[in-house]
Every structure is written in structure tokens, then in C-alpha cells.
Structure 1
Amino acid sequence: MHATTILGFAMNLVAIIALAYGLYFRRHHRRDLLFAYLALNVGIFAVVSLLLVQRVDLAVGFGLFGVLSIIRLRSSEITQQEIAYYFISIALGLINGIAASWPLTALFLDVVLLAVMYVADHPRLLGTTRHQVVTLDVVHADPQALHADLERRLRAPVLQCEVTQVDYVRDVTVVNVRYRASASRPVRQGGVR
């Protein structure tokens, strides 16, 4: 094993631990995805390192991306935010695997990716905007009445609402709602669908 590969692996481990534990887990508290990010990243690093050592044809590299693209992210419910963490964990593995010979380049790219994720997912940045699927025990014919009902129930200003299902038999409406939660009122993070 080359010294550059060992250095690249060490940098990769530091970067993925900073991303998965330092950023993701401490903010979102999903242990299952913490494990998934670590495993995916280390697996990508190992495959890329082996491909580079064996000088495999470019077609094999495209085949690897083809395999990765057909893998469905099967989880209970996964948000776009969590998919972004998947993408960054893959990117870190690729960067540290490919750029192991140029440690300063790999380090720079690791720092850039981690800094972007730190800022983009920071709770203070758009932290009061929430998304929730709400099931109402009433059907509103008037959009203004629906809007007012949602604001009363959520005790927050509604930014956008979209009716996704109406059941006139049971008098039920399912609404996809984006609203601004007050900073003083704690909002459960796990309730986002």
C-alpha cells in the first residue's frame, strides 16, 4: 500500500467523521444514516483507490457510477437534506481516493465541502422555516379559509400550502404545508415528512 493511499484514507476518515458525526448526527440525530454515510464513504474510497492502483479502464469507472445510480435510498423516510449528505459522503470518498497523490488539493476540497455543508445546514440559516404534512378533519372549499385554519392550528404564519388529498366521505383533507415557526416555540424536528 502506498503512503499516499494511507494519507488519503486518513484524510477521508477525518472528513467523513466530521461530516457524519460532527455535522449530521449532532444536528439530526439519526443513527441509521450516520452508519450509512460512513459505510458508503469508506466503500467508495476503497473502490476508487483500487481502480486507480489497477489502472482500470474508464468504462469500469462509468460502470461504478451506473451501479451507484440504480441503488435506491431505501429508508423509512429520507429528506432532500439527507440525500445531500449522501452525495457529499460519496464526493468525499471520491476526492480522497482520486486526489490521494495531491493531499493539499484533497484537503482543500474536503474543507470546502464541509464548510458548505456546515453553513447550508446550519439551524440559524432558514431555521424557522418548517415543512409538515397535515391531515385536517374538515374539507375547506375556500383557499383563504384553509390558510386561516392552518395558521390557527399551527400557531404560525403559513408560507405555502398545497392540498394533496381530499376525502369528502370522511371529511378529511391532507395538506403539504410550509410555515414559519416562532423562535420561542420549540418545533419537533422529527415531524417533517
Structure 2
Amino acid sequence: MDQIVLVAVDLVAIGLLTSTYFRRHRRRDLVVAYLGMNVGVLAVASTLSSAAIGAGLGLGLFGVLSIIRLRSTEIDQREVAYYFAALALGILGALPAQVLWHSVVFMALLLLTVVVADHPRVLRRHHRQELVLDGAVLDRVALVARLEGLLGARVHQVAVQRVDLVDDTTWVDVRYETVPPSRRRGHGETGREAARTSTAGAGS
């Protein structure tokens, strides 16, 4: 009876997880992947656990599946989090627990963590972008000022991935925070002033 309850809780949890993911990110293919993987893990783990294979089944299955690399399409770190949540829910729903509510609580905690952490209002001003700039920019201060003027944002970190002096381009990975419109004008002027100062210093 406890196993039936856990299976039902898992199906409800994975339904909520995938519906939340689809409403926020609109990738139907990953909804199918998450549902298929969760139910597949649930079925396999339930069958193996009923054969009394051992208490390490859950960790072993999690370890084997966690090394699977999906080569068909690229998924970002946020989608990887949903991937492992679907996997963990399937394992928690399949393996018997000494106390039923332990598994239910952990499943609810996992679901709540992913849903809240991925909420659009959590760190909504912080972004990451890979850009190719026209021009080979070697001065870091000028590079940051140019990115801030281009993005209208405050750059927190920028990593130069490639500077091509032949094609005159700069490839960067930038982490930035969008600036409210009321502060954008003053921030842009500060960035342009920094660029002028850097250019003047280089010329002298």
C-alpha cells in the first residue's frame, strides 16, 4: 500500500514539475524526456527493489544515469536541474522507505526547491550572454565600458574567450545585471567616461 502511495505522489510531483517547466520555458521535447525518464526510472527501480537486490540500488542507478550525456540537443544548466529532479523523484517514488512520510517530504522538498529557484522573479536582473564584438578590444576597462553601454547593464564579470586580430573581433562571455531605467542614464555616462579615460591613458 505504501508503494502505491509513493508511486502516486511521484506521478503528481513529476506532473507539476514538467508543467511548471513548460509554462516557463516552452520546450515540448524536454517535457517528453522528463516524463519518460521519470516513469522509466520508477518502473525499473520498483522492479529491481522488489527483487531484493540491495539498499545501494538507488545510488547505483542514480550514478549510472547521471553520466548519460544527451548529444542530440544542447541543454543549459537550468534544464539539467530539472533533469536530475525528475530522476531523483523517480528513485524516491520507487524505493521503499521505513517511514512513508520521509520519502513524501523529500519529494516535496525537491519539487519546491526547483520550482522556487527557477521562478522568474528570483535574480531576474542577472543574466549571462556570449557575445562577438566588432573590433579587437585588448583593454579590459574599455571592454567593460563598451559592454555596459551596449547592454545598458552593470557588468559583473567578463571572460575574454578569443581576440581575433585578423578578423578584428572579440569573443566574450559576460555576466551582467540589468539596470532600472531611472538609473540607466547615469550608469551609461559613467561607462562612457571610463572608456574615454582608458583611451586617453593608452594614448599618452
Counterpart AA for 1:6: I
Asked if 1:139 is matched to 2:146, the reply is no
The residue matched to 2:162 in structure 1 has which SS?
A: strand
CA contact under 8 A between 1:11 and 1:107: conserved in structure 2? yes
Match of 1:127 in 2: 124
TM-score after normalising by structure 2? 0.80
CA contact under 8 A between 1:137 and 1:171: conserved in structure 2? yes
TM-score after normalising by structure 1? 0.84
Counterpart AA for 1:14: V
Asked if 1:9 is matched to 2:37, the reply is no
User: Which ranges in structure 2 are unaligned for 5 or more consecutive residues?
Assistant: 182-204
Q: Give identity over the alignment, percent.
A: 46
- Listed one character per residue, the Cα deviations across residues 106-137 of structure 1 (whole Å, up to 9, x for unaligned) are 22112111111122111111111011100011
The structural deviation recorded for 1:57 is 4.2
**Larger relative contact order, structure 1 or 2 (CA cutoff 8 Å, min sep 6):** 1
Match of 1:187 in 2: none
Distance 2:97 2:60 in 1: 22
The structural deviation recorded for 1:5 is 3.2
Match of 1:20 in 2: 18
User: Which ranges in structure 1 are unaligned for 5 or more consecutive residues?
Assistant: 185-193
The residue matched to 1:83 in structure 2 has which SS?
A: helix
Decide whether aligned partners of structure 1 residues 128 and 61 sit closer, same or farther in structure 2, where only a CA change above 3 A counts.
Answer: closer
The residue matched to 1:35 in structure 2 has which SS?
A: helix
The residue matched to 2:156 in structure 1 has which SS?
A: strand
Asked if 1:73 is matched to 2:70, the reply is yes
Counterpart AA for 1:173: T
Decide whether aligned partners of structure 1 residues 113 and 64 sit closer, same or farther in structure 2, where only a CA change above 3 A counts.
Answer: closer
Q: Where in structure 2 are the equivalents of 1:27-42 lying within 5 Å? A: 27-42=24-39
Counterpart AA for 1:87: F
The residue matched to 1:157 in structure 2 has which SS?
A: strand
